[in-house]
Amino acid sequence: PMGSERMEMRKRQMSTSQETPGAAQAQHSTGNRGSNACCFCWCCCCSCSCLTVRNQDEERARRTSHELQAEGIPNCEESPAPTLEEVNAWAQSFDKLMLTPAGRNAFREFLRTEFSEENMLFWMACEELKQESNKSVIEEKARLIYEDYISILSPKEVSLDSRVREVINRNMLEPSQHTFDDAQLQIYTLMHRDSYPRFMNSPIYKDLLRSLSEKSVEA
């Protein structure tokens, strides 16, 4: 399926990004010793101001790719903790899962493990766009959505067929609240058919359901 292929591509991209900092650090420490020396002396004594800058650079290089990725993850929606009744309802239909912020947050957590969180983020961005009425705000938000999720240059590009992309390109000539309606429906359908069944069998859902069931019994 299209979603599974995209998930495998995401995994390979993440693997590559995790290897890159280590290789860059090795090159920094071996091949460029001369260029990293203090600009005023070759001893690199602790009093040199440029040593502080170099230490800061090395500290940034040591930061894991997971930490860097987490900085770019938008915050989840604010919502009360789900009830046992709500979590059971998520298993009845994908629509009921997507209806509540708690359901969307749990599903987003699962999508993140499959490197496909951009599908939910795109869907939510389209929902926000539909609430706008100011023309200039609509145009700005539409542009950002296009750059973040439609452009082939974006790392968060969602998987859309050529027909839907053509529709979007035409709509972007005069953006409106409904510029991405066809694309939003296609991504919603993709999440429903491809990711939702796996979410229902995932530890994220089962652990939440078990925890709420145990609390209900204790009460």
What's the confidence (pLDDT) of residue 80? 84
CB within 8 Å of 83: residues ≥ 6 apart:
212
Residue 4 lies in a domain: no
Phi, psi of 218 (to 5 degrees): -65, -35
Per-residue pLDDT tens for 158-217? 999 999 999 999 999 999 999 999 999 999 999 999 999 999 999 999 999 999 999 888
Confidence of residue 6 (pLDDT cuts 50, 70, 90): low
| Structural domain harbouring 98 | 84-216
What's the confidence (pLDDT) of residue 164? 98
Contact by Cβ (8 Å): 206, 85: no
CB within 8 Å of 143: residues ≥ 6 apart:
172, 175
Residue 158 lies in a domain: yes
C-alpha dist (Å) from residue 8 to 22, 115, 116, 123, 214 = 23, 9, 10, 21, 36
Per-residue pLDDT tens for 15-59? 555 554 444 444 444 444 444 444 433 344 444 444 444 444 444
pLDDT: which is higher, 216 or 69:
216
Per-residue pLDDT tens for 115-160? 999 999 999 999 999 999 999 999 999 999 999 999 999 999 999 9
Residue 46 lies in a domain: no
User: What distance in Å separates the CA atoms of residue 116 and residue 108, rounded to the nearest whole number?
Assistant: 9
Report yes or no on whether pTM surpasses 0.85.
no
The pLDDT of residue 101 is above 80: yes
Residue 5 lies in a domain: no
Residue 78 lies in a domain: no
Closest to 17 in 3D by CA, of 82, 70, 69 = 69
Residue 24 lies in a domain: no
Confidence of residue 5 (pLDDT cuts 50, 70, 90): low
Looking at the structure of the chain, the number of domains it has is 1
What's the confidence (pLDDT) of residue 124? 97
What's the confidence (pLDDT) of residue 32? 46
Residue 126 lies in a domain: yes
The pLDDT of residue 68 is above 80: no
pLDDT: which is higher, 65 or 153:
153
What's the confidence (pLDDT) of residue 13? 60
Give the CATH number for residue 149: 1.10.167.10
User: Dihedral of the CA atoms 20, 26, 29, 33 (nearest 10)?
Assistant: -90
- Token pair 């919502």 in the structure block, residue: 79
Confidence of residue 4 (pLDDT cuts 50, 70, 90): low
Residue 2 lies in a domain: no
